[in-house]
Amino acid sequence: MALLGSAALALSLTACGGPAPANGGGDAGGDGGLRTVNVVGVPVVDMAALYVGIDQGYFEEEGLELNIEFGQGTAAMIPALLNGQYDIQYGGSINVLQAVDSGIPIEAIAVGGRTTGVQGEDHGGLLVLDDSPIQDAGDLEGKTVAVNALRGLHEAALYASISKAGGDPTKVSFVEMALPDMGAALESGQIDAASTSEPWLGVLEGQGARLIASLYVDADPAFVTAIYFAASEKIQSDPELIEKFTRALEKSFEYSNANPDEVRAELGNFTEIDPELAETMILTNFDWGLSYDDLFLIAELAAEAGSLEDPETAAANAARYLESQ
């Protein structure tokens, strides 16, 4: 079950609109007098909604031109956001709440993606070999499960999956592993289960792996998996920029939900996912809306997994901008 030895799933770190201005963004002077907005994120399927919005002219209607760049991890990119190199960042929901919990001055401004809410038909899943005796997440006690980041999104959601299935997540051994490496590790017996997401989820299922849990759905039927956020200082000093960006993003999400084929078509802008695979993968749910309750749920899950100390305060601080609207 080697996971696509070709470059079919390699992520191309491309940008839209050229390099970021040296002084850190929000500058006027884009095409036709548009204001350049520097956005950074991890190159995952959810970010296709930005390209949809660009093509539909939603950001241009707000006088904005997006310069999109990619990095390899949410936490690693936050310092560049704080020093003004970027205006807005996309990242995993757990990472954002962990950063706020540690005192980093950032705030959520919009949802980035969420679960479909449908068991067996979500973009995140827990897989085992087809002949494995493991039947559900409750059977994972004493087993080794691969996640892409310890104490991250997958591990926190798996705590919910395992508990709901009657197991004790504290008796599960979680190991950190890159998503593309999980297929071979599963086949070799290095791990007993792999917690992964699209497009790797569909690849492994197509190669015979068996889905035993939709972990995001287990966490909550409307679980928020990703968030757009900004530095508190940026939000306070330039609220108009944040308002314009989120208005355009909301339209992009609405259009993306109604036109999934166009979302799939945009993947070629920033990934090298095989077009045939893109046609069948399960997309994120682009339903709009983000609230304190959404953030508190995320923070609680992270706290239960031992990766966040004060869920109530973290959620309140992360939701400051949302609560002001």
Answer for the pair 211, 282: CB distance below 8 angstroms, yes or no: no
Mean confidence (pLDDT) of the chain: 89
Answer for the pair 257, 222: CB distance below 8 angstroms, yes or no: no
31-115+222-324 has which CATH code?
A: 3.40.190.10
Q: Say which residue the tokens 């939701």 belong to.
A: 319
DSSP state of 67: E
> Where do the structural domains in the chain lie, given as residue ranges?
31-115+222-324, 124-219
What pLDDT, on the 0 to 100 scale, is given for residue 20?
35
Cβ neighbours for 248, distance < 8 A, ≥ 6 positions apart: 53, 58, 59, 61, 62, 64
Alpha helix positions (H), the chain:
48-56, 58-61, 74-82, 93-101, 153-164, 182-188, 200-206, 215-219, 232-237, 239-258, 260-266, 275-280, 292-304, 311-318, 320-324
What pLDDT, on the 0 to 100 scale, is given for residue 27?
53
Q: Token digits for 229?
A: 């956020």
Q: Which of 19-23, 63-67, 243-247 has the lowest mean pLDDT?
A: 19-23
Q: pLDDT-derived band of residue 74, with 50, 70 and 90 as boundaries?
A: confident
What pLDDT, on the 0 to 100 scale, is given for residue 117?
96
The pLDDT tens digits for 264-321 are: 999 888 888 888 888 989 999 999 999 999 999 999 999 999 989 999 999 999 999 9
Domains 31-115+222-324 and 124-219 share a fold: yes
**Total residues found in the chain within this entry:** 325
Element spanning 123, H or E: none
What pLDDT, on the 0 to 100 scale, is given for residue 61?
98
The highest-confidence range among 4-8, 168-172, 276-280, 305-309, by mean pLDDT, is 168-172
The pTM of this model reads: 0.85
Counting DSSP H helices and E strands in the chain, the numbers are 15, 10
d(CA 275, CA 132): 31
d(CA 59, CA 31): 12
The pLDDT tens digits for 38-49 are: 999 988 889 999
Answer for the pair 126, 201: CB distance below 8 angstroms, yes or no: no
Any idea what the Cα angle at residue 290 is, between residues 263 and 16, rounded to 5°? Answer: 40
Write down the architecture of domain 124-219 according to CATH: 3-Layer(aba) Sandwich (3.40)
Mark residue 33 as left, alpha or beta (left: phi above 0; alpha: psi -120 to 50; beta: remaining).
left
Q: Is the pLDDT of residue 2 over 60?
A: no
